[in-house]
Structure 1
Amino acid sequence: MAYYRSAGSVPPKRHTQHRDEEGNLRYEELMGEEGFTSDSALLYHRHLPSALVDVRTWDLPDQTLVPNHPLLPRHLATHALFADPPEPADAVTGRRLLLGNADVRLGYVVASVTSPYYRNGIGDECLYVEDGRGRVETVFGDLDAGPGDYVVVPRATTYRVVPEGPMRIYAIEANSHIGPPRRYLSRYGQLLEHAPYCERDLRGPEEPRVLEGGDVEVYLKHRGPGPGGIAGTVHVLPHHPFDVVGWDGCLYPYVLNVADFEPITGRVHQPPPVHQVFEGHNFVVCNFVPRKVDYHPLAIPVPYYHSNVDSDEVMFYCGGDYEARRGSGIGQGSISLHPGGHPHGPQPGAYERSIGLEAVDELAVMVDTFRPLDLGEAGLACDDGQYAWSWAGGRRGE
């Protein structure tokens, strides 16, 4: 993360003795990125953080991926994946895989019960809350999450999700770190004046949650045998993982609400990079929010037709009225996949209807990847099978 925070009890100098009131030593743990050469945090535990008493295999939800072949644009109706009302599921073991490649995996879940304690040992996670509210409890402290919140969780952070009721969560799992685009940051890590959000918009943990207990299970996703080189293990700890009395540093989970993203507009249509909110290795995350649109007298406010020469484009429609997709079947909770090599743009009639618009009321989260995306079991299950023909009036084979 871009700036330093401190919470709870930490010693005046790092890597020195830190004792409780009775003289017992706290155990310092460094969580550091890129081999101790990038952002890090120091956590002070009451017990040994590496202690284990048991281990077993965790059979992950289906991680199989199949190529998008023959190459097609697709519409994934995520709301069709879960019954209404949904069967009990949690945000970790109930997560279903929509799309993925070697850099990022995109999943969806309607979570209504508390998840197990969990850590992703492969990469950072970004959980976008489409609807519902809950609490994300982490080893650093708690984060409240609600509609429109991005919850960014660094790699190997132990956490669990406690819903207040059904929570619709769009999960972006990286094989790398996720953070603000580098062009938004000074060389020292401060968000710059041209960035569409700043440090004041970020909500971090206030105080660590200190809990006791033994034989606590932590579900771990890590590299290993299995589809995509991903495996699961359950570690049983003799002490509760949330035994941290204090921490400090620049690596911690945080929340950004999409309403705090300030859109950039212009006289003519602006390209997707102005909507970028995060980046990871070989992918970017953008969001399209309600905003005034292009004000040139001859402007066409919807996107021009474009070819993704270097990327696959995934758009998650999560609010408002998406004018450019009217008539395609896309609605709340839909995902469109526009693969590299295929030109795409507004649906028939949208180009003309947009002329004269002064504002749009749309909300969407876009992930652009720089390697092709394959289809997961959930993506195959909720593909409507019709979207590819929507620009030609629904005709196939004619």
Structure 2
Amino acid sequence: MNELKYLNGFDSEFQSEDPRRPNSLPKGQNSPQKCPYGLYAEQLSGSAFTAPRTENKRTWFYRIRPSVGHFPFKKFLKGNVTHDWNEQDPDPNQMRWNPFDFPKDQIDFVEGLNTVCGAGDPKMKSGLAIHVYICNVSMGNRAFYNSDGDFLIVPQSGVLFITTEFGKMEVGPNEIAVIQQGMRFKIDVNEPSRGYILEVFGQHFILPDLGPIGANGLANPRDFQTPVALYEDIDVDNYEIIAKYQGKLFICHQNHSPFDVVAWHGNYVPYKYNLENFMVINSVSFDHCDPSIFTVLSCQSEKKGTAIADFVIFPPRWSVQEHTFRPPYYHRNCMSEFMGLILGQYEAKKGGFLPGGATLHSIMTPHGPDFKCFSEASEEALKPTRIAEGTQAFMFESCYGLAVTKWGLKTCEKLDLDYYKCWQGLKKNFNPI
């Protein structure tokens, strides 16, 4: 496994070359008439050519063969990826899924992609999709890329060994990886693996503004890591390339590994982050802060301060508020909230919300702590308390109204139809005297 280097800022320029081929990066220009070692120059653009400099994303590859050398694409008929948000009638109910089953047959990462919910249209470069992956074998001579948007991958069980055109990353539970639009990658596993994916169409994730917090806090740029170059020079009869394009999967083949990049430079890169590095900020006087203080990454809409998607975590932390009901407050929201649990027990739903499962609380559908949590938190001694120890829950939050797929409602057979019962014990405590 090659070492990663720190990503010191999302607008930084990076460069890397495989140490086995020193001086493989051209000097002084991006596309010389003849590249070192007989390599080809190829640019991967993550933004329009004319995007402002602060938003312009691109990387130059210096590779053994250009990626255009493949045979025609055909439909790939495996997996459960869809962006047909009208295949089921809308359902405003609170939803909870029990842990998604590991596959019984041999299923790799792409075949094990299952769309749970989403909204918008990748053709219009606006919207998002939420998937779960469940797999138990490596991809082998198969690579994948997403034409529709970025993947934010959240492993829940099992380590992912990710090979990209930029190099390798090893990403396990309590870490995340972001593979941006168009980047080719494959995933190897050594055990049954499961996790969640937040996909955003046509936009990229950024660090949230800190405002009055100041210069430091939440996820620090220096803790994000990106690979260094490590090329493969492999000729094979049939290397499969799978593309996600306009919500469908397509497959073609070529006669060599796509991971043949000897050197690269640019600011459009895959990256990983360890959630243990998140600097938690919270109230130290009274009341419960809004969950936006736990935002790791954000994908902003055109409306200022409103996210197509936020990635929010609820890590171990101290709770010290006085005269305060400390768990999350009951609320209705103009955002959609999809939650997952990586490990431990979520404080507001202990026992019912399990690692590898999920919940969805749709726009303006009320939700909050269950009866047991409310009863205990209403009577507990308000001393400084360490909460969420050994736990990592997260939330994908969006301004879009999310439609649940047929797979999410029926096929997976994991929807908990008794979820509503966890609030039925909340009784009338009103005392007018």
State whether structure 2 residue 236 is matched by structure 1 residue 217: no
Q: Which runs of 5+ in 2 are unaligned?
A: 1-9, 18-23, 121-126, 302-307, 428-433
Which of 303, 309, 324 is equivalent to 2:348? 324
Q: Name the CA distance, whole Å, in 2 between partners of 1:7 and 1:13.
A: 15
> What per-residue deviation string (whole Å, max 9, x for no partner) do you get for residues 48-75 of structure 1?
2212234322125332544563420010
Change (3 A) 1:18 1:276: farther
> What per-residue deviation string (whole Å, max 9, x for no partner) do you get for residues 108-154 of structure 1?
22222112310011000011111211310001110011121111001
Q: Name the CA distance, whole Å, in 1 between partners of 2:107 and 2:250.
A: 19
Give the AA of the match of 1:209. Answer: Y
Q: Name the CA distance, whole Å, in 2 between partners of 1:118 and 1:238.
A: 16
Q: Name the CA distance, whole Å, in 2 between partners of 1:194 and 1:21.
A: 41
TM-score normalised according to structure 2 size = 0.81
Q: Number of matched residues?
A: 376
Structure 1 position 333, deviation (Å): 1.9
Contact 1:126-1:178 within 8 A present in 2 as well: no
SS across alignment from 1:270? coil
Task: Note the aligned Cα RMSD (angstroms).
Answer: 2.4
SS across alignment from 1:279? strand
Change (3 A) 1:209 1:390: same
Structure 1 position 323, deviation (Å): 2.1
Structure 1 position 352, deviation (Å): 4.2
Give the % identical residues: 21
Q: Name the CA distance, whole Å, in 2 between partners of 1:168 and 1:238.
A: 31
Structure 1 position 18, deviation (Å): 7.0
State whether structure 2 residue 97 is matched by structure 1 residue 76: yes
1:123 is matched with 149
Q: Name the CA distance, whole Å, in 2 between partners of 1:94 and 1:52.
A: 24
Structure 1 position 256, deviation (Å): 0.5
Structure 1 position 394, deviation (Å): 10
Q: Name the CA distance, whole Å, in 1 between partners of 2:66 and 2:350.
A: 56
State whether structure 2 residue 26 is matched by structure 1 residue 11: yes
2:137 is matched with 113
Structure 1 position 290, deviation (Å): 0.6
2:279 is matched with 262
Q: Name the CA distance, whole Å, in 2 between partners of 1:143 and 1:275.
A: 25
Structure 1 position 211, deviation (Å): 2.4
2:328 is matched with 303
SS across alignment from 1:82? coil
> What per-residue deviation string (whole Å, max 9, x for no partner) do you get for residues 331-388 of structure 1?
2222111111222111114234234261212311101111111112332131111112
Change (3 A) 1:351 1:10: same
Q: Name the CA distance, whole Å, in 1 between partners of 2:416 and 2:148.
A: 31
Q: Which runs of 5+ in 1 are unaligned?
A: 186-191, 224-229
Change (3 A) 1:70 1:58: closer
Change (3 A) 1:165 1:82: closer
1:226 is matched with none
Which of 396, 402, 420 is equivalent to 1:388? 420
Change (3 A) 1:140 1:184: farther
Q: Name the CA distance, whole Å, in 2 between partners of 1:68 and 1:348.
A: 30
2:62 is matched with 44
Structure 1 position 20, deviation (Å): 6.0
Contact 2:208-2:295 within 8 A present in 1 as well: no
Contact 2:64-2:233 within 8 A present in 1 as well: no
2:43 is matched with 30
SS across alignment from 1:78? coil
Which of 114, 124, 127 is equivalent to 1:96? 114
Structure 1 position 206, deviation (Å): 1.9
